[in-house]
Amino acid sequence: MYLFFGNDNEIEKLKTYNILEGFYKNKPAILVGNGINLMSQTMSWEDLLNKISQNFQINVRVKKDKSFPLIFEELIFKSEREYQETLDSFKEQINSELNGLVNNKYHDQLMKLNCYDYLTTNYDYSLERVFNSRFNESVRNSRETKYSLYRNNVIENKKIWHIHGELNHGFEKRRSVHESIMIGNEHYGDYHRKVHELLKPPGSILTALENERDSWPKRFFTHDVHIVGLSLDFSETHLWWILNYRARLLKVFGKIPNEIYFHLPSFSQDKHRSKIELLEALNINIIPTVVKSKIENDYKTFWEILLNVTLPNYI
């Protein structure tokens, strides 16, 4: 076994690269965020937290200058009810707001791309409902209830990984059926630790990839990953850690087989300049989709070009 940070011998580096290349699937995976949902409804995460604040009559300032996972904790701690009861009630509210979402044409186009693995930070089932309009819960065959490293829904020969949890999955009898929904800072922190332990077990990244139990974090080392409709907020510490860890691997061995792509509309490049600079330093390919439109922030045209021109050119 060749350790992640072994010696600098070029032969050892080559051997390690060859082993890594053996895991490479030469297949694309797509990581999709809430941007695709916003094309058919206006429930942003800011809107969702505001709904909770209003419905439970908790006075909290929900603004983008705060971390959304920490705003969620602020709402819990300002509630006068018991912690677990409050947490379950908030997640029930999230389920109520999101469970009725109907997939739009962009979901349809995304799912019909030549791709097998779909990772999503969304809790809802809009992707599954492209093929089954009545889909409302995952099959209860997973040992996971709170965390979402290994669980996926297979539909029409496609794997859908809800990496932040899903609406109707969790503790059915003991506590909340929505236990897996990841929104609070504590849940984020625990999840980060689990991702870290999964990819950095005793030994090396190779030990992690050799593990027979499949998981979505492996995709960032075995597949080309296309990130779409995801702002990649800095509160997503588990995702930033994976990208950073992969960049360190690349720095040590000089090359690794797969590529990561971050897709965004050309009109948002200035807005996300700081993020783009960081991603470029981590050897992430920035792919701006050129949108020529008289409409300001024309996301409709962006998604049309992304799904019909940009992504098909890559996958």
If one counts every other C-beta atom within 10 angstroms of the C-beta of residue 182, the result is: 23
If one counts every other C-beta atom within 10 angstroms of the C-beta of residue 278, the result is: 16
CA 253 to chain centre: 26
- For residues 274 and 40, give the distance between their C-alpha atoms in angstroms, rounded to a whole number: 29
Which pair of tokens denotes residue 124?
A: 């809802």
Which pair of tokens denotes residue 211?
A: 């593990």
Q: What is the pLDDT of residue 254?
A: 81
What are the mean pLDDT values of the chain's consecutive 10-residue runs (315 residues total)? Answer: 51 78 92 94 83 90 88 92 89 86 92 96 94 76 82 93 88 70 93 94 81 93 96 94 94 89 96 96 97 90 96 92
- For residues 270 and 249, give the distance between their C-alpha atoms in angstroms, rounded to a whole number: 29
Q: Say how many CA atoms lie within 13 Å of 283 toward its Cβ.
A: 18
* Contact between residue 224 and residue 28 where contact means Cβ atoms under 8 Å apart: yes
Find the largest Cα–Cα distance for the chain. 64
- For residues 232 and 121, give the distance between their C-alpha atoms in angstroms, rounded to a whole number: 10
Q: What is the pLDDT of residue 3?
A: 44
What is the residue-wise DSSP string for 143-199? S-SS--SS--EEETTEEEEETT--TT-S-SSSS-TTTT---SHHHHHHHHHHHHHHH
Which pair of tokens denotes residue 312?
A: 């098909």
